[in-house]
Amino acid sequence: MELQSLFKLHYQPSFLPRLSLVSTSLTPLSKPTFFTPKKKFPHLHKPFSPHQSSPSPSCRPPKPLSVSAASVSLQTDEDRLPADIEVIETKEPHSRVRLSVIVPPLVSQYCYRLVLDEYAKESKVPGFRPGKKIPESILINYIGKEYVQRSAIATVLKQTIPHAMSSVKGRAFEDSVRILTKFSEMLEAFSPQDFFRYDAVVDVAPEVKWVSEDAYKNLKIVVEIDNEITAQKASEAELRRRHKALSPLRIVTDRGLRIGDVVVLDIFATTISKDDSSGEKIPSAESKGFHLDTEEGDYLLPGFLDSIIGIQRGETKSFPLQFPESWKQENLQGVHAQFTVECKELFYRDLLELDDSVADKLLPGCSTLSQVKESILQRCQEVEQTARDQATDNAILDQLSKLIEVVDIPQSLFEEQGRQLYGAKLLELQASRKLDEQQLTSLSSEKALNEYLETERDNITNIIKQMVAVGEIFKRENLQYSTEELVKEVENSVAEFKQHNQEYDEERIKLQVQDILEGAKVLEWLREHADIQFVTR
């Protein structure tokens, strides 16, 4: 049993996950992104080139850039336009802003000329030497009028969208802009001599309301700590586990099951109806060849272990039990069941003498039993402190979500956070080998994702509220992290991706690390200014 599981740890708040390596088998899901409402929208960074590849040696006309009417990928620096564009903003539900853009002819002509110049440089038109000016009519006839218009429209969009979004700069979410006007409609209406119109929509940071302006200051936090497991108890359990792992198993031949034994069972279960007759099978409660260490049976159904004590090899026992109302599987809560258990094998451990002679086997590098105990205790104390810190952070975040109201959460933010959580969940299941490839493929479908988003809507919404609250506090209190911290964390994350031969986007990693560092600074500030009380369950 891992030390962390003894303390029921949940590492990192929901918005502060470690950068997880994304399996290529999860391609239907987007890679984890850590969105916060403060992200700025990227600007254009160079004039649009409608043809990126080298000209074909066969002299065939190059194909135009493919442009989707649903979305557009922007570059990074704003370019100066020959005339101003007109933008009409309209607020829409889910923190969206519709931008109705009117492009004057001067801008359309400018973009149209950029496209022609680019095609003229890269096209090999028969009869014209490289560098020789090609008449416009001949060039258009060679390339194709529709190809030229498509590329011109793409250029207009890329050149004008950053200008159209100047009023929402700093509020718009990264990669959330979408073109609403159908491309076929734009193609039909486009002329360099006329006004060009299109509609776009972008998600912006939602409106935030605190219950009071200083609601997050001087928080009173009650942190519940599980008193069942302490560092001392955990270290004793860990020493016992290591001791047992060194000791050989012997077959029991002359008695029944005792606490401390290891038993192999075939388990069958059916529901019990009101008239005490057997009902349906309970597949999730059945198991063949189930290995049970009787000293680690805390996770079993209450009463199960007591009911099989004394069972001998080859013997079968049948007994009724009721699943608690708090049972993890909701469909079994409160269910009365009849269990039938057959003992297939029964073993006891021939425990080695626990002294200095086995110290190095218990914990490599230790020469005495005292060193082993001291080292294990120190590790458990560190884990216990991590558990307390984590419980404190979770309590603070839970309190924050109650102090803030996020009006009209953008759908893109909701979906992105949900995808991140769902992807992390699948990775965890895959890492623990609880999923085969077929199950993973099925769970990676958009249908499975959408079902998860709907089921976990309240939880995802609550996490977003926490994220928004943290972002607001970071700005309000002028908190900062050092460049050294950022560089170090980015380097560590990149090294982890390289170690596992995973593809990565360093710029995205940097954004994720920034969110992580901001969250850590906010939690540190809140802990310093909060009244924190620890109570045991």
Average pLDDT per consecutive 10 residues, the chain (537 residues; last block may be shorter): 45 36 28 30 26 30 37 51 92 91 95 86 71 74 84 92 88 85 93 94 89 89 79 89 92 92 94 72 89 86 93 94 88 90 94 92 93 94 89 92 88 88 85 76 88 93 91 93 94 88 87 90 94 87
- Measured on CA atoms in the order 71, 75, 77, 81, is the torsion positive or negative? negative
pLDDT at 262: 94
- Measured on CA atoms in the order 464, 468, 473, 478, is the torsion positive or negative? positive
Give Cα 452 to chain centroid, integer Å: 13
Are 408 and 206 in contact by the 8 Å Cβ rule? The answer is yes
In degrees, rounded to 5, the angle at the alpha carbon of residue 54 between the alpha carbons of residues 48 and 58 is 130
Domain ranges of the chain: 3-23+212-227+367-536, 39-204, 248-350
CA distance 359 to 362: 5
Per-residue tokens: 475: 């700005």
Per-residue tokens: 302: 């209450």
For 465, phi then psi, to 5°, come to -60, -40
CA distance 264 to 267: 10
Are 445 and 28 in contact by the 8 Å Cβ rule? The answer is yes
Cα–Cα nearest to 422, from 467, 390, 459: 459
Q: Distance between terminal CA atoms of the chain?
A: 23
CA distance 2 to 277: 42
CA distance 74 to 517: 27
CA distance 526 to 488: 24
Are 302 and 314 in contact by the 8 Å Cβ rule? The answer is no
Residue 95 neighbours by CB distance under 10 Å: 24
pTM above the 0.85 mark? Answer: no
Q: Which of 3.30.530, 1.10.10, 1.10.3120, 1.25.40 is the CATH number of 3-23+212-227+367-536?
A: 1.10.3120
pLDDT at 23: 28
Specify whether the backbone of 220 is left (phi greater than 0), alpha (psi in -120 to 50) or beta. beta
Per-residue tokens: 260: 């401390």
Q: How many helices (H) and strands (E) does the chain have?
A: 15, 14
Q: Where are the beta strands (DSSP E) in 3-95?
A: 86-92
Q: What is the full DSSP assignment across 122-174? A: H---TT--TTSPPPHHHHHHHH-HHHHHHHHHHHHHHHHHHHHTGGGTTTBPT
Cα–Cα nearest to 43, from 74, 86, 83, 84: 74
Q: Which of 3.30.70.1050, 3.40.50.2300, 3.40.50.720, 3.30.160.270 is the CATH number of 39-204?
A: 3.30.70.1050
Q: Which of 3.40.50.300, 3.10.50.40, 3.40.50.2000, 1.10.3720.10 is the CATH number of 248-350?
A: 3.10.50.40
pLDDT at 425: 86
pLDDT at 20: 33
pLDDT at 265: 94
